[in-house]
Amino acid sequence: MTYNLDEMRDLLLSVQKPARYVGGEIGQIMKNADEVDVRVAFCFPDIYDIGMSHLGMRILYGALNAQEKTWCERAFQPWPDMEEAMRREGIRLYTMESHTSLDEFDMVAFTLQYEMCYPTVLNMLEMGGIPLWSKDREGLHNIVVGGGPCAYNPEPLAPFFDIFSIGEGEEALCELTDKLRAARKAGKSRAEFLFEVSQMEGFYVPSLYDTEYNADGTIASFTPNREGVPAVVKKRIIEDFDQVYYPKTQIIPFTEAVHDRVTIELFRGCIRGCRFCQAGMLFRPIRCKSADTLVKDACTLLENTGYEQLSLCSLSSSDYPEIEKLVDELIRYTEPKGINLSLPSLRVDNFSKELAAKITGVKKSTFTFAPEAGSQRMRDVINKNVTEEDIERSCRIAFENGNSSVKLYFMMGLPTETDEDLDAIRSLADKIIGYFYNTDKEKRNRFIKITASVATFIPKPFTAFQWEAQDSREETNRKQQYLKDKVRSKQITVNCHDCRTSMIEAILARGDRRLAPVLARVAEMGGKLDAWSEMFSYERWLEAMEACGVDGNFYSLRKREFDEILPWDFIDIGVTKEYLIREAKKSYAAQTTPNCQEQCTGCGANRMMGRKCDV
């Protein structure tokens, strides 16, 4: 079904921000449906404002549309007012470009950035007229594909998806559309196509694997159910970042997006080995773009879009080897044109006075960094490799540069944490206030304000803490109140995240296929957009788990043994399980591991590119 928006005029004018649903933006890619043979609906399981800010969607949208015979279009989850109106009028979820409903597409691809988006995925499938369970879909049509960080433990969503793309998608997804095109031309069945996809590196086909469980609920085995299907799925990576596709333009939204700007990606991976950080392990090994390529990409995008803000993106921007050269060259372009240059994700242990002076220009008011823990012992446990001397030096640089407020990010509930570690959060804030008042009065502002945001620790797959138990809701609430009681100062504000969302996220992060009925029940009960506090219902999740006979504590509050089979063990990300076990054991002794620039620590990731790794 293709919808005529002129006929939907009254409906669109009755909802908030109708520009979220009309398309027609500058930079969108239009093709003739009769001249392409594979149509892809790229679905972002959140609202337009969020999805249009996502760099990965911009890249993959461009890469797929660079194929002459492929047309990739966008779809987003409507806000509740629009969804209600669409359901009332019998309008299916449609794409922005051609206003075609999802059930008309050959491939429906979801980017899975956050576990709490899972019910939204199911809601979008249902709204688009696509059968929810993969077993109910037939032919080489409506092939449902998932990718992104959450695809590294795809099991909670496995019964709903035909294929998961494991790893980086710029090349892999284009190969997948080619495979689908060839299968249709050859008249192959859905089963034949899916088997062929399972032979491709970086693709997981859930229907071709079976799971058996022990009496205690742990996994007894996870094996292919057909001869020739690989037992291990190896992630895909891009080896040459200077040659990989990068868009020369981007869609300019008619309505405000969260990050409405040009963003360029410095590198993938991270030299750090923070033991709680999933992204730092998933995206190894480190691969950088050259400064010349980055400058070319940035200038091309700025010229083609007219944006006046440029952001440099990575997990740890100040670790980029050519950062000084890159910033110098970009400033030569951006400064005369009045373009704002921002460099987020800076590390306090290599934040230099020279770099601060280059990127600030006009003095800013806020300095943000993430010590993650208040005490040095706990920072060693998590391998943050940041000392109080690093923090003091960086704070002084920031204060001398005119910063008058500081945002600090911490986690609560980390392995081995004690109340004394929570006390240290207040102590660290007090020390930062001291650094401020010891800064030259002529260089600093008059007042300082510290905001400490405290998140709840969530053990994630492919981290050294993947075996750890999460604190119970009762213990987390106790710790939050303990910290708030400790911090009673007009200069310090403590914001603790609602731990109920973190409890559900932990269940989904380490879940298996037995959670699929829970997800279906949550979606059936109206669950969607759970990343939004006003849409999240903890009680709905509890009711769904009870109805399905699932104990959420089994997934979140239970500490695993190192020899337990984990739902994601069949995926090879390069980083070995042996390395993660070594790191877990070192954390118990508060022993640190140096970063990759200092020495190879034997994680195994270099093997992905045929390089030596000191395992």
Angle of helix 169-185 versus helix 190-198 axis, rounded to 10: 150
Q: Note the pLDDT of residue 352.
A: 65
Beta-carbon contacts of residue 439 (< 8 Å; ≥ 6 apart): 396, 399, 400
Q: Note the pLDDT of residue 351.
A: 65
Residues 91-131: tens digit of each pLDDT: 999 999 999 999 999 999 999 999 999 999 999 999 999 99
Task: Please report, for the chain, how many H helices and E strands are present, in that order.
Answer: 20, 19
Please, are residues 120 and 83 in contact by the beta-carbon 8 Å criterion? no
Q: Note the pLDDT of residue 245.
A: 94
Q: Note the pLDDT of residue 173.
A: 97
Q: What does each C-alpha distance from 545 to 156, 504, 558, 598 come to in angstroms? A: 13, 11, 17, 47
Could you tell me the pLDDT band of residue 483, with boundaries at 50, 70 and 90? very high
Could you tell me the pLDDT band of residue 610, with boundaries at 50, 70 and 90? confident
Q: Note the pLDDT of residue 362.
A: 39
The Cα–Cα gap between 556 and 469 comes to 6
Say if residue 2's pLDDT is above 50: yes
Q: Note the pLDDT of residue 363.
A: 41
Segment 375-404 shows an average pLDDT of 89
How many residues can be counted in the chain? Answer: 615
Ramachandran region of residue 24, left (φ > 0), alpha (ψ -120 to 50) or beta? left
pLDDT above 70 coverage of the chain, percent: 96
Residues 303-337: tens digit of each pLDDT: 999 998 999 888 888 888 888 899 999 999 998 99
pTM flag (> 0.85)? yes
Q: Note the pLDDT of residue 368.
A: 80
Q: Note the pLDDT of residue 609.
A: 86
Say if residue 302's pLDDT is above 60: yes
The Cα–Cα gap between 465 and 470 comes to 10
Residues 199-238: tens digit of each pLDDT: 999 999 999 999 999 999 999 999 999 999 999 999 999 9
Residues 529-545: tens digit of each pLDDT: 999 999 999 999 999 99
Residues 152-193: tens digit of each pLDDT: 999 999 999 999 999 999 999 999 999 999 999 999 999 999
Angle of helix 516-524 versus helix 538-548 axis, rounded to 10: 130
The Cα–Cα gap between 148 and 196 comes to 22
